[in-house]
């Protein structure tokens, strides 16, 4: 297997040791599987927490820092963290102003965080949960609640982290968060599987000349398996699906996030952006701010996703708010 | 070919169009193949420029911004930019305080920038050149001037950009730059080739269970082709070669840069850092600041490099100086 690991059993522990050692100015390890912002809980603000399976770096722990996430519950590769980890993570972020749990729509995460939230509410803690479901490929529009969360989770962290940093109360975060999730739509494409470190096997099978639109971050089925298309053809297809889904309309203002899944070169993603911006312009949709890079990967998976979030006066302020997370710095 | 491009001929142009559109708050396109910091030349400071072949993103244009690079000459994939591009790039960064040309030790770049520098000096421009040669694999220690430049170039941009931002004169940058280059040593490993967009073929051949230590960013030969080793074994080998090369000694303070070549997951690189930090500690070498991520890639190549730079009182200040480049923000 072509991975720089020592053995699968120690992989997560060694990775977290390296992470915490390198970023010891910003993070600390609270429990074996809980990483927190240094000094968390931060007095006087709502705690922002997340968690989920590993294997998506810089996603999850890379978002820890001022203006984004306060604590993260760490699971094994592509596996939800256990209930106790979720419980400890939420508790570690609570300064008394309550905690917003920001997770993706995956059954293991929903179940384990759900139990932890129930336990903590019984202890009198003030906790709200928001669940990102931005992936338009994973269920029809009228069943948005069944859709998976993908790169839109970064927009969720960015905006909720900003609101908490600006001193908003938990109820306001929950309300705005649910609206931002509703206004966020993504679609991805992958042509190369990642290699599972447990087995050394690819996470899905795909032909040498094929790609799959809408395939999930863990290899969940997409909506269309086709021969490799050009950058423009791929972008046209993805943008059409996203735009018609909300739908995004003339005079809307949007944040655009182009997320690399692992091995796709940044230069290819700029070619995709070059087409996406022209499509948006032709529809009269204004690009307010754009992000490009690897935010949520699947190790060495090849492909990318496009995320659009419709913004208003308030959400533009939250998008613009500076943050200083480990792998997401905005000045 | 599994790449999101339209056709090879337009690839660089479309990529630059996307780049400049997305980052129009920080950069502008000056000529077809010259990208500059918005508003460059910056009055009252030495201009910092670089250039080289494309295919290494975010390297080169991602370093444009306050506290780093003012202008970049863009070549085709893995090919040096032409003389006119080099000439225009240097000129675009000159506010009258002179220009420092910061390049890697590759024959095409040396030749074309060399001719451009001669032309501009004849016009009375004040120009100095520094050449990164950090790759310990590419020539013996007593022939350091023959070595290739790899990820150490990021340290060169960071420190020279800081000095220029702090108002140092060109002569001081040239002197400090040559010392920083001398004190910078790197070594990389790759197990998977990139795919050349011109041909659809891999940049080098390697077995399904093999990796090569010291292989260059364009597939140039390394020092040792072996069966895949564990993260710790690989790190031990690389660190020993780097440490003995300067040599780095007890009580030295260093900057560490772990650079992903494209498809290697960040989690693997944290496992490598976890070992590297223990090795440095055991030798009494203090890690002053560390960087981890994809800085100089070779598209979808799999592997990473480690760079160490020995620091002193002044260079620590330059490493710490804030910068706001497109893909390198330090607050």
- Residue-wise pLDDT for A134-153, tens only, equals 999 999 999 999 999 999 99
Active site residue B218: yes
Beta strands in B142-251 (DSSP E): 184-192, 210-213, 224-227
Q: Considering chain A, what is the average pLDDT of its residues?
A: 97
Supply the pLDDT for residue B157.
98
The answer to whether residue B29 neighbours chain A at the CB level (below 8 Å) is no
Percent of chain B scoring above 90 in pLDDT: 99
User: How far apart, in Å, are the Cα atoms of A103 and each of A48, A88, A268, B326?
Assistant: 10, 16, 29, 29
Bridge partner residues of B290 (DSSP): B256
Could you check whether the bond before residue B41 is cis, i.e. omega within 30 degrees of 0? yes
Active-site residue, selected from the candidate residues A23, A56, A191, A217: A56
The one-character DSSP state at B11 is H
User: How far apart, in Å, are the Cα atoms of A212 and each of A94, B44, B164, B167?
Assistant: 41, 52, 47, 52
The answer to whether residue B324 neighbours chain A at the CB level (below 8 Å) is yes
Q: Which of A92, A194, A154, A87 is nearest to B300 (CA)?
A: A194
The answer to whether residue A201 neighbours chain B at the CB level (below 8 Å) is no
Interface of B with A in 253-282 (CB under 8 A): 262-274, 277
Q: A68-120, pLDDT tens digit by residue?
A: 999 999 999 999 999 999 999 999 999 999 999 999 999 999 999 999 999 99
Could you check whether the bond before residue A247 is cis, i.e. omega within 30 degrees of 0? yes
Bridge partner residues of B103 (DSSP): B131
Supply the pLDDT for residue B287.
98
Q: What is the mean pLDDT of residues B94-100?
A: 98
**Under 8 Å between Cβ of B236 and B277:** no
CA–CA separation, B207 vs B226, rounded Å? Answer: 10
CA–CA separation, A88 vs A66, rounded Å? Answer: 20
Each as own residue / partner, the long-range contacts of residues B196-202 (CB below 8 Å, 24 or more positions apart, any chain) are B196/B77, B196/B78, B197/B1, B197/B3, B197/B5, B197/B8, B197/B11, B197/B77, B197/B299, B198/B8, B198/B77, B200/B1
pLDDT at residue A200 greater than cutoff 90: yes
The answer to whether residue A3 neighbours chain B at the CB level (below 8 Å) is yes
pLDDT at residue A219 greater than cutoff 90: no
- Chains A, B: CB pairs < 8 Å: 172
- Mark yes or no for CB contact A329/B330 under 8 Å: yes
Active site residue B321: no
**DSSP letter string, A81-145:** PPHHHHHHHHHHT-SSS-EEEEEES-HHHHHHHHHHHHHHHHTT--EEEEEE--BTTSS-GGGGG
Q: B148-190, pLDDT tens digit by residue?
A: 999 999 999 999 999 999 999 999 999 999 999 999 999 999 9
Q: Which of A6, A11, A13, A18 to mutate to test the interface with B (most CBs of B within 10 A)?
A: A18
Q: Any residues with CB less than 8 A from the CB of A129 and at least 6 apart, and which?
A: A100, A101, A103, A113, A114, A117
Contacts of B14 in chain A (CB under 8 A): 231, 270-271, 274
Closest chain B CA to residue A14? B271
Residues A305-327 as b/e (b if ≥16 CB within 10 A, e otherwise) read: bbbbbbbeeebeebbebebebbb
Q: Which of B201, B265, B331 to mutate to test the interface with A (most CBs of A within 10 A)?
A: B265
Interface of B with A in 156-195 (CB under 8 A): 191-192
Q: Which of A4, A78, A331 to mutate to test the interface with B (most CBs of B within 10 A)?
A: A4
> Beta A99-104 vs A210-213: how paired, if at all?
unpaired
Q: What is the mean pLDDT of residues B244-269?
A: 98
Q: How far is B7 from chain A (nearest CA, A)?
A: 8
pLDDT at residue A206 greater than cutoff 90: yes
**What are the structure tokens assigned to A176, written together?**
């705005």
Closest chain B CA to residue A5? B231
Interface of A with B in 213-252 (CB under 8 A): 228, 230-232, 234
- Mark yes or no for CB contact A300/B302 under 8 Å: yes
CA–CA separation, A211 vs B265, rounded Å? Answer: 21
The answer to whether residue B24 neighbours chain A at the CB level (below 8 Å) is no
Active-site residue, selected from the candidate residues B23, B56, B191, B217: B56
Contacts of A4 in chain B (CB under 8 A): 230-231, 234, 264, 268-269, 271-272, 304
Q: How far is A273 from chain B (nearest CA, A)?
A: 6
Q: B263-303, pLDDT tens digit by residue?
A: 999 999 999 999 999 999 999 999 999 999 999 999 999 99
Q: Which of B189, B328, B212 is nearest to B269 (CA)?
A: B189
**What are the structure tokens assigned to A322, written together?**
């500076």
**What are the structure tokens assigned to B250, written together?**
């007890």
The answer to whether residue B28 neighbours chain A at the CB level (below 8 Å) is no
The answer to whether residue B4 neighbours chain A at the CB level (below 8 Å) is yes
**What are the structure tokens assigned to A229, written together?**
């298309």
Beta strands in chain B (DSSP E): 27-31, 34-37, 47-54, 65-66, 71-77, 99-104, 127-132, 184-192, 210-213, 224-227, 253-260, 286-293, 302-311, 323-325, 328-330
Instruction: Give, for A178, the enclosing helix (H) or strand (E).
Output: helix A170-182
- Lookup result for tokens 């010891």: A24
**Under 8 Å between Cβ of B73 and B89:** yes
Confidence class for position B219, pLDDT limits 50, 70, 90: confident
User: How far apart, in Å, are the Cα atoms of A67 and each of A117, A149, A164, A302, B321?
Assistant: 23, 21, 7, 30, 22
**Under 8 Å between Cβ of B48 and B312:** no
Cα four-point dihedral sign A5, A10, A14, A20: positive
The answer to whether residue A300 neighbours chain B at the CB level (below 8 Å) is yes
Q: What is the mean pLDDT of residues B11-38?
A: 98
CA–CA separation, A298 vs A216, rounded Å? Answer: 10
Contacts of B52 in chain A (CB under 8 A): none
The one-character DSSP state at A259 is E
The one-character DSSP state at B99 is E
pLDDT at residue B15 greater than cutoff 90: yes
Q: Which residue in A1, A264, A299 is closest to B265 by CB distance? A: A299
Active-site residue, selected from the candidate residues A23, A217, A218, A327: A218
Q: What is the ipTM of this complex?
A: 0.98
pTM: 0.98
């Amino acid at each position: 297997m072509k991975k720089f690991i020592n053995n699968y059993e120690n992989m997560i522990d060694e990775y977290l040791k390296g992470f915490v050692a390198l970023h010891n100015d910003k993070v600390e390890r609270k429990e074996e599987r809980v990483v927190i912002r240094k000094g968390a809980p931060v007095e006087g603000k709502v705690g922002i927490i997340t968690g989920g399976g590993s294997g998506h770096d810089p996603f999850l722990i890379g978002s820890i820092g001022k203006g984004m996430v306060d604590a993260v519950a760490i699971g094994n590769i592509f596996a939800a963290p256990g209930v106790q980890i979720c419980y400890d993570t939420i508790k570690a972020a609570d300064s008394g102003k309550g905690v917003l749990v920001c997770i993706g729509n995956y059954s293991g995460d929903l179940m384990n965080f759900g139990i932890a939230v129930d336990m903590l509410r019984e202890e009198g803690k003030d906790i709200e949960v928001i669940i990102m479901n931005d992936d338009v490929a994973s269920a029809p529009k009228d069943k948005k609640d069944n859709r998976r969360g993908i790169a839109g989770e970064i927009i969720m962290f960015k905006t909720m982290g900003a609101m908490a940093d600006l001193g908003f109360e938990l109820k306001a975060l929950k309300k705005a968060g649910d609206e931002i999730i509703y206004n966020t739509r993504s679609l991805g494409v992958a042509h190369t599987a990642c290699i599972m470190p447990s087995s050394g096997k690819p996470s899905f099978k795909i032909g040498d000349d094929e790609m799959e639109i809408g395939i999930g971050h863990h290899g969940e089925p997409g909506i269309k398996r086709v021969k490799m298309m050009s950058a423009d053809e791929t972008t046209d297809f993805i943008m059409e699906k996203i735009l018609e889904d909300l739908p995004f309309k003339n005079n809307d203002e949007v944040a655009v996030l182009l997320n690399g899944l692992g091995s796709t070169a940044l230069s290819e993603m700029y070619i995709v952006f070059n087409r996406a911006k022209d499509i948006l312009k032709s529809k009269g949709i204004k690009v307010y701010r754009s992000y490009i890079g690897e935010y949520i990967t699947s190790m060495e998976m090849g492909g990318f996703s496009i995320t659009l979030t419709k913004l208003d006066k308030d959400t533009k302020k939250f998008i613009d708010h500076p943050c200083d997370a480990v792998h997401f710095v905005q000045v």
